[in-house]
Amino acid sequence: MSTEQLNVEYWFRLLYNCLHGACYGTPGGFDGLAAWLAHLWIWITVIGYILAVIGLFVIIYATVRLFELRKREEEFYETVIVPPGAEGGTHPRWEHIQSLLEGGTPSEWREAIIEADIMLDDLLTRQGYTGDGVGEKLKSADPERFHTLNDAWEAHKVRNQIAHEGSTFAISETLARRALARFESVFREFKVI
């Protein structure tokens, strides 16, 4: 490094000269600096106003789009989705569950109960109940609005036994029919079948 770069007086002299007009091309001391800063401030103000107007338009656009999205979501979630084939008779999933029950083997009875519980989970979700599973959704259910709540609990308990014990759970045809009858009463209350 040269001695000029290490010389503190050199750097102060450059700063002094800059303040007196050497940096912005107008010899005249602080008046020139003030004029240059005023000119700079005008540009900063103009750019700030332009950015503010652009930001305002972005906010207005985003708000309008958000309200449109909420309106579409509201229309979508208010619409009751009826599964194909459920309008004029039985629900196709329920028919499949009934055919599993008539299969005559314990593995088919277990599958029928698990399928009915999945169907119950879908029903509870459509009814607006929240939770991670059927049990939590049933806990949040209001017995005044859900008259077959006890049936849903009893049927779900059988499904839990099947899920936890698997093929070692000794299921009888009577127990399977009783559990599916409870599921059926819930589905009939909410007019799914």
pTM over 0.75: no
CB atoms within 10 A of CB 39: 11
pLDDT digits 0-9 by tens, 131-166:
888 889 888 888 888 889 899 999 999 999 998 988
85 part of a folded domain: no
159 contact partners, CB below 8 Å, separation of at least 6: 113, 114, 116, 117, 134, 179
Nearest by Cα to 120 from 94, 98, 145: 94
Q: How confident is the model at residue 82 (pLDDT cuts 50, 70, 90)?
A: low
Q: Are 21 and 32 in contact (CB under 8 A)?
A: yes
84 part of a folded domain: no
83 part of a folded domain: no
Q: Are 97 and 159 found together in one domain?
A: yes
pLDDT digits 0-9 by tens, 2-19:
555 577 888 788 778 776
Q: Are 116 and 42 found together in one domain?
A: no
What domain range is 25 assigned to?
Answer: 3-78
Q: Are 96 and 69 found together in one domain?
A: no
170 part of a folded domain: yes
| Total of domains in the chain | 2
